[in-house]
């Protein structure tokens, strides 16, 4: 009886998780764009030795804004997850890892939030990949 309820709830729980991820990731892009952060982000990328810093910053920002609309709609979820995982893994390595683990409390600006995002994106993406495979196998 309990497993039946959980099985019925399962799609809703995954939907809520996917929509929450989309909202959190969209906030990154919108805050950067509306707050005038694309240029400084691009300049920082240049100082880290990456070519075309402004264009990379603009691309990441656009991805965070546009891809989250499709992510929320359930389109290309596993493919978009891979893109987000790439972006946030890079951010984790370049920005957050040098500050340690904790974002607040025992540390500052650490990598715990990035790890949570990457893990959650991996799980949602994997589930979407498997669900797509199962749908294709039915035909």
At residue 139, the pLDDT reads 64
Percent of all residues in the chain with a pLDDT value above 90, rounded to a whole number: 86
Confidence class of residue 16 from pLDDT cuts 50, 70 and 90? very high
At residue 134, the pLDDT reads 85
Q: How many domains does the chain fold into?
A: 1
> How many CB atoms lie under 10 A from the CB of residue 110?
21
At residue 103, the pLDDT reads 92
Are 63 and 87 within 8 A, CB to CB?
yes
Averaged pLDDT for residues 99-104:
94
- Residue 48 pLDDT > 70: yes
At residue 84, the pLDDT reads 98
H-assigned helices in 1-104: 2-34, 38-47, 53-73, 77-91
The whole model's pTM is what?
0.92
Mean pLDDT over each residue of the chain, to the nearest integer: 94
- Residue 100 pLDDT > 80: yes
Confidence class of residue 8 from pLDDT cuts 50, 70 and 90? confident
Averaged pLDDT for residues 98-109:
92
At residue 129, the pLDDT reads 96
At residue 135, the pLDDT reads 82
For residue 134, with 0-12 CB atoms within 10 Å meaning exposed, 13-18 middle and 19 or more buried, which class applies? exposed
Domain hosting residue 85, numbered range: 2-137
């Amino acid at each position: 009886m309990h497993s039946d309820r959980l099985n019925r709830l399962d799609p809703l729980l995954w939907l809520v998780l996917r929509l929450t991820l989309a909202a959190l990731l969209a906030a990154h892009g919108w805050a950067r764009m509306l707050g005038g952060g694309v240029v400084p982000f691009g300049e920082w990328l240049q100082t880290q030795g990456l070519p075309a810093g402004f264009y990379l910053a603009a691309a990441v920002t656009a991805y965070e804004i546009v891809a989250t609309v499709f992510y929320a709609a359930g389109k290309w979820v596993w493919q978009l997850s891979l893109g987000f995982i790439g972006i946030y893994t890079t951010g984790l390595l370049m920005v957050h890892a040098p500050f340690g683990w904790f974002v607040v409390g025992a540390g500052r600006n650490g990598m715990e939030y990035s790890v949570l995002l990457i893990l959650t994106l991996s799980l949602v993406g994997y589930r979407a990949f498997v669900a797509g495979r199962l749908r294709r196998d039915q035909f």
